[in-house]
């Protein structure tokens, strides 16, 4: 699986490990970076929301550290992936949105390339979503675009392969273990295992179809938010009630198609007959329930919410199983202690808060993304929780730091090694955010902003020109925009200054030009 060019680099490095490692080869950690797609903090049991159980993902926190205030810089897939690879904001790495014309410039510096140059074996398996062919990896096996849940088509160094009858979450794990079995263990490895799940349209695996069917999920406090004082929130198109599709998202059959370019039949045709039989058994009942119940208004919105939560949690349960299999593999192969295992998501997600699904906004649910890390040889904590502000620009420098590789000065994130090893309590006093994808697909206006431990300032600068200010201590759900409140005039001034300071620090000099 390892290309000849890389083999020759590796063999040169084998004779001069100290040149790159700075410490004995044995001690350089392996890395298993697990990232799913759209997995909210609210649906990882270690975060304590009580919605579902993820016993395997929780094992990582039990064995290490859970970050409670880990944020993204731009809450959608491609941009987040580019940020993770480069340690730089979207305006620096050039990948600002998910539009078809946006492609990641694979010639730029990334942390997998730096690790590869230092002798690491590297691979990315699962979702990629960056348009261009992966660079910096000895092996890759990635979905085309968003990928599909069933019978996925994967791009590998030798071309495209269709995995008929496979379920994407399981295939990602199988391919990952296959690669781990094949790597030369005399060198450390870095595996990026990227699940497509739980991305929309939340297609469960056959063994999970019935899970949660009898469960009633609690309605979030803000489900019926009226978006008063928040124009951008009022004008989005990511409402469970209005924008979620009965056929494509909720798998209701026997109704007039609501799918505009999103075709449930195409996805169902990727299943084997056996898989389809299990699907039909559950979803014909669901469809029947919808057709005969005559639900409308709030009752229908709440029915949609329940269906959404069930399907979303079903696909997560498969992810959790695969994380468990990966941890078991590392344990059985005596690799767990010397491997940095991270579980995270490309961004957070709304589980009905504000009445929404999807992400994009700089509001708490989609600004956060889960982050759990264990590395028993290097992080001597178990079950520790940290609430300092961390961000996905920090992944690259943190992993380089643990690997003993110099962190290039143009990387914008901070190494989290000092906080993860108890040497420091934080790495920054505020975070910067900038989102660019408008109007499609969810009508969320472009915005940038700053958040510190207590306050958040946001500027929606395109289409409308509005500012929002929140006191997160007093208003954790961000329902009261304080921008014109005289009592908060000082806070507003201070946050405006902080915003400007961060735009200068990160060189986002002309933020409204994109």
Identify what 388 binds: Ca ion, ligand SGN, none; CB under 5 to 8 Å per kind: none
Instruction: Rule CB under 5 A: say whether 369 interacts with Ca ion.
Output: no
By the rule CB under 5 A, 77 interacts with Ca ion: yes
Residue 98, contacted partner among ligand SGN, Ca ion, none, CB below 5-8 A by kind: ligand SGN
CB 398 → ligand SGN: shortest distance, Å?
23
What's the rounded Cα separation, in Å, for the pair 335 and 28?
Answer: 12
Q: Which of these ranges, 70-78, 173-181, 296-304, 496-504, lies near Ca ion under the rule CB under 5 A?
A: 70-78
129 with 145: CB under 8 angstroms? yes
Binding site residues, ligand SGN, CB under 6 A: 37-38, 76-77, 98, 129, 146, 199-201, 262, 358, 441-442
191-217 b/e (C-beta count within 10 Å ≥ 16 → b) = bbbbbbbbbbbbbbbbebbebbeeeeb
Closer CB to ligand SGN, 241 or 385, in the complex? 241
Q: Say how far apart CA 398 and CA 77 lie, in whole Å.
A: 21
Which tokens sit at 437? Answer: 């994808």
Collect all residues with Cβ–Cβ distance below 8 Å to 424 and sequence separation of at least 6.
Answer: 418
Residue 441 contact among Ca ion, ligand SGN, none, beta carbon within 5 to 8 Å by kind = ligand SGN
> Which of 1, 262 has the CB closer to ligand SGN?
262
Residue 437 binds Ca ion (CB under 5 A): no
Q: Site residues for Ca ion, window 343-362 (CB under 5 A)?
A: 346
Rounded least distance, CB 201 to ligand SGN, Å: 5
Q: Which is nearer to ligand SGN, 169 or 201 (CB)?
A: 201
Q: Min. distance of Cβ 148 from ligand SGN in angstroms?
A: 10
The values of phi and psi at residue 239, to 5°, are -85, 135
Q: Which of the 8 DSSP states describes residue 352?
A: S
- Edge-to-edge, what's the strand order for the sheet holding 121-126? 159-162, 153-156, 139-143, 121-126, 189-194, 30-36, 339-345, 371-374, 65-67, 384-386
Residue written as token pair 């005596």: 334
Q: How far is the CB of 24 from ligand SGN (least distance, A)?
A: 40
Query: 130 or 271: whose CB is closer to ligand SGN?
Result: 130
**Contact, 87 vs 405, CB < 8 A?**
no
From the list Ca ion, ligand SGN, none, pick the one residue 59 interacts with, judged by a Cβ distance below 5 to 8 Å according to partner type. none
Identity of the residue, 102 or 390, whose beta carbon is nearer to ligand SGN in the bound complex: 102
Find the shortest distance in angstroms from Cβ 154 to ligand SGN.
17
380/371 Cα distance (integer angstroms): 17
DSSP letters spanning 33-97 = EEEESS--GGGSGGG---S---HHHHHHHHTSEEESSEE-SS-SHHHHHHHHHHSS-HHHHS---
Residue 127 Cβ vs ligand SGN, minimum distance, rounded to whole Å: 8
Give the nearest distance from C-beta 43 to Ca ion in angstroms: 14
The smaller minimum CB distance to Ca ion, of residues 76 and 336, is found at 76
Least spacing, CB of residue 431 vs Ca ion, in Å: 19
Cα end-to-end distance, the chain, whole Å: 40
Least distance from Ca ion to the Cβ atom of residue 72, Å: 10
Q: Quick one: 37 or 364, whose CB is closer to ligand SGN?
A: 37
- DSSP, collapsed to helix, strand or coil, labels residue 499 as helix
Nearest CA among 354, 252, 265, 227 for reference residue 303: 252
Q: Which does 302 bind (CB under 5 to 8 A by kind): ligand SGN, Ca ion, none?
A: none
Say which residues have a Cβ less than 8 Å from residue 457's Cβ, sequence separation at least 6. 449, 450, 451, 467, 468, 469, 492, 495, 496, 498, 499
Q: Which of 38, 302, 394, 468 binds Ca ion (CB under 5 A)?
A: 38
Helix, strand, coil: what percent of the chain each, to 5? 35, 15, 50
From the list 37, 364, 394, 401, which residue makes contact with Ca ion (rule: CB under 5 A)?
A: 37
442's contact among Ca ion, ligand SGN, none, with CB below 5 to 8 A by partner kind, is: ligand SGN
Q: How far, in Å, CA of 261 to CA of 263, rounded?
A: 6
Report the partner that residue 339 touches, choosing among Ca ion, ligand SGN, none (CB closer than 5 to 8 A by kind): none
Residue nearest to Ca ion (CB): 77
Interface residues with Ca ion (CB under 5 A) are 37-38, 77, 346
């Amino acid at each position: 699986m390892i290309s000849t060019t890389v083999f020759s680099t590796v063999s040169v490095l084998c004779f001069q490990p100290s040149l790159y490692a700075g410490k004995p080869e044995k001690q350089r950690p392996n890395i298993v970076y697990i990232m799913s797609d759209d997995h909210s903090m609210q649906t990882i049991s270690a975060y304590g929301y009580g919605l579902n159980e993820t016993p395997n993902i929780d094992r990582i926190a039990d064995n290490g550290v859970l970050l409670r205030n880990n944020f993204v810089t731009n809450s959608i897939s491609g941009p987040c992936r580019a940020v993770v690879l480069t340690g730089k904001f979207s305006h620096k790495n050039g990948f600002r949105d998910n539009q078809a014309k946006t492609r990641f410039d694979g010639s730029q510096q990334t942390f997998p390339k730096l690790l590869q140059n230092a002798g690491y074996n590297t691979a990315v398996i699962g979702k990629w979503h960056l348009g261009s062919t992966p660079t910096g990896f000895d092996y890759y096996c990635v979905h085309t675009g968003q990928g599909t849940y069933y019978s996925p088509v994967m791009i590998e160094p030798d071309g495209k392969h269709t995995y008929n009858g496979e379920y994407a979450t399981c295939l990602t794990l199988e391919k990952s273990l296959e690669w781990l079995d094949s790597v030369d263990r005399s060198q450390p490895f870095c595996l990026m295992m990227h699940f497509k799940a739980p991305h929309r349209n939340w297609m469960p695996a056959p063994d999970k179809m019935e899970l949660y069917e009898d469960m009633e999920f609690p309605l979030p406090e803000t489900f019926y938010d009226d978006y008063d004082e928040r124009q951008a929130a009022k004008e989005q198109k990511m409402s469970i009630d209005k924008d979620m599709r009965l056929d494509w998202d909720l798998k209701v059959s026997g109704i007039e198609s609501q799918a505009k370019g999103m075709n449930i039949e195409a996805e169902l045709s990727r299943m084997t007959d056996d898989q389809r039989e299990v699907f039909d058994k559950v979803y014909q009942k669901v469809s029947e329930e919808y057709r005969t119940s005559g639900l409308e208004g709030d009752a229908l919105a709440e029915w949609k919410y329940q269906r959404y939560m069930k399907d979303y949690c079903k696909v997560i349960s498969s992810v959790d199983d695969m994380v468990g299999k990966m941890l078991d593999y590392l344990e059985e192969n005596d690799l767990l202690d010397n491997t940095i295992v991270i579980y995270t998501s490309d961004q957070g997600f709304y589980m009905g808060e504000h009445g929404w699904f999807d992400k994009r906004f700089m509001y708490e649910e989609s600004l956060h993304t889960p982050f759990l890390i264990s590395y028993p040889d290097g992080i001597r904590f178990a079950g520790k929780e940290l609430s300092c502000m961390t961000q996905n620009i920090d992944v690259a420098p943190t992993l380089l730091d643990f690997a003993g590789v110099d962190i290039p000065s143009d990387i914008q994130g901070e190494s989290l090694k000092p906080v993860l090893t108890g040497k420091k309590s934080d790495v920054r006093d505020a975070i910067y955010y900038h989102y660019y994808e408008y109007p499609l697909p969810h009508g969320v206006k472009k915005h940038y902003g700053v958040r510190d431990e207590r306050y958040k300032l946001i500027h929606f600068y395109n289409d409308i020109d509005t500012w929002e200010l929140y006191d997160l201590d007093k208003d954790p759900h961000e329902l009261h925009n304080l921008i014109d409140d005289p009592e908060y005039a000082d806070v507003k001034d201070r946050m405006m200054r902080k915003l400007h300071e961060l735009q200068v620090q990160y060189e986002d000099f002309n933020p409204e030009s994109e």
